[in-house]
Amino acid sequence: MRVVVCNSFAPLDQLVIEERPSVALRSGQVRIAVRAAGVNFVDALIVQGLYQIKPPLPFTPGGESVGVITEIAEDVSECSVGQRVLVTSGAGAFATEMVVGARNTLAMPDSLTDGQAATFMQSYGTAWFALVERARMQAGQWLLVLGAGGGVGLGAVDVGHALGLKVIAAASSPEKRALAESRGAVATIDSSAEDVKARAKEISGEGLDAVYDPIGGAVGEQCLRALRDDGQFLVIGFASGDIPKLPANQVLLRNRRVTGVEWGGWVIKHPEQNQRMVGEILAKIVAGELNPVEPYAYAFDDAAHALADQQNRNVVGKAVLLVSSADAA
């Protein structure tokens, strides 16, 4: 098998690809021939040592992959050889083969391509957790999504539309805005040229019910001021690298709220609730009410390039590493 290896926290081009022997299965484990590995913003941060979680070196990056089960340990009964499953892990997904606990696999519906299946979970898990579990948004409310052409942003546009929200999508490029429109945004804002706060206020009329901010920095801080009475500012992430200092007077005014959203931490503390939530997301995908984007595909050997594109805002929607039969040989 082949794996992408991070030997030291360093620039992305220091990643290497190594041949490794397959390892024997232990109790409860399954072997998976990986077909596709999702590329996430956080993967690039982890490789460079810029994230709060630093895996012991050396390690294989990647947190989401889809593949086919090729072998199961004798005591495994919950899944079977030939099943196509999603594996979500902190690391290890950029590999042509994985050995994981059977309990860490989730059967994927046929309606998702390998690329979609390998890239929807983090985006839709975060978006659903934010809008349904944390913000408890109601149909007809106004939602402004920043970074709406990126992973968790586009997921929020799609989930928001499915919930009956009126979604305003802000993104920097025409391609990102078009993608957000295709997922049901009722209006878009060019965040590279327009005053996002002023436009969002103008479009919503009475003000926003929620701002979903995966970027951080000045724009989100400004948009807090476009919230109406009881409106919520959802803190999702800091893709810009700038953690905003939200003005408390603006939170006080109009009884606004600031709501933290940490899906990953919640999953660890509430696995059963998360399982139920993921079940609801999958049911809506199968019913055609949620439509995860087909990701931009990179060859397995181009992992560093894919991560660099992700970090440099060049990815429209999602990105994936596809494992070919030659990679897996």
Ligand X SMILES: NC(=O)c1ccc[n+]([C@@H]2O[C@H](COP(=O)([O-])OP(=O)(O)OC[C@H]3O[C@@H](n4cnc5c(N)ncnc54)[C@H](OP(=O)(O)O)[C@@H]3O)[C@@H](O)[C@H]2O)c1
Give the count of residues interacting with ligand X (CB under 6 A).
30
Q: Which is nearer to ligand X, 32 or 124 (CB)?
A: 124
* Residue with Cβ nearer ligand X (167 or 315): 315
SS3 state of residue 95: strand
Contact set for ligand X, span 173-212 (CB under 6 A): 176, 191
Site string for ligand X, 63-82 (x = CB under 6 A): --------------------
Q: Give yes or no for residue 108 binding ligand X (CB under 6 A).
A: no
Which of 96, 126, 232, 274 binds ligand X (CB under 6 A)? It is 126
Candidates 78-86, 100-108, 151-159, 320-328 — which segment interacts with ligand X by CB under 6 A?
151-159
CA nearest to 207, candidates 194, 225, 226, 224: 226
Could you tell me which of 45, 30, 40, 28 has the C-alpha nearest to residue 319? Answer: 40
* Distance, CA of 2 to CA of 21 (rounded, Å): 9
Q: Which of residues 229-248 bind ligand X (CB under 6 A)?
A: 236-241
Q: How far is the CB of 25 from ligand X (least distance, A)?
A: 31
In the block, which residue shows the tokens 């030997």?
7
Cis amide leading into 244 (omega within 30): no
- The residue range among 21-29, 93-101, 143-151, 320-328 that interacts with ligand X, by the rule CB under 6 A, is 143-151
Determine the Cα–Cα distance for residues 35 and 65; give it in Å rounded to an integer: 8
Among 96, 116, 119, 122, binds ligand X (CB under 6 A): 122
| Residue 264 CB burial class (10 angstroms; 0-12, 13-18, ≥19) | middle
Shortest Å distance, C-beta 145 to ligand X: 10
Distance CA 160, CA 180 (A): 11
User: Parallel, antiparallel, or unpaired: how do β-strands 187-190 and 105-107 relate?
Assistant: unpaired
| Between 12 and 315, CB nearer to ligand X | 315
Cα–Cα distance for residue pair 295/155, rounded to 1 Å = 13
Interacting residues with ligand X between 299 and 328 (CB under 6 A): 310, 313, 315
CB of 69 to ligand X, least distance (A): 27
**Binding to ligand X, residues 268-297 (CB under 6 A):** none
* 151 contacts ligand X (rule: CB under 6 A): yes
C-beta atoms surrounding 63 within 10 Å:
22
Q: Rule CB under 6 A: say whether 89 interacts with ligand X.
A: no
Q: How far is the CB of 176 from ligand X (least distance, A)?
A: 5
Question: 55 pairs with which residues across the strands?
Answer: none
Q: Round to whole Å and give the CA distance between 266 and 157.
A: 22
Q: Least separation, in Å, of the C-beta of 154 and ligand X? A: 8
- 162: which 2 tokens? 């499915």
Cβ proximity to ligand X, 71 vs 133, nearer residue: 133
Return the number of the residue (85 or 219) whose C-beta is nearest ligand X: 219
Other CB atoms within a 10 A radius of the CB of residue 301 amount to 14
Query: Is the CB of residue 48 less than 8 Å from the CB of residue 13?
Result: no
Q: Should residue 116 be labelled a site residue for ligand X when binding is judged by CB under 6 A?
A: no
Contacting positions for ligand X (CB under 6 A): 40-42, 122, 126, 147, 149-153, 171-172, 176, 191, 214-215, 236-241, 261-264, 310, 313, 315
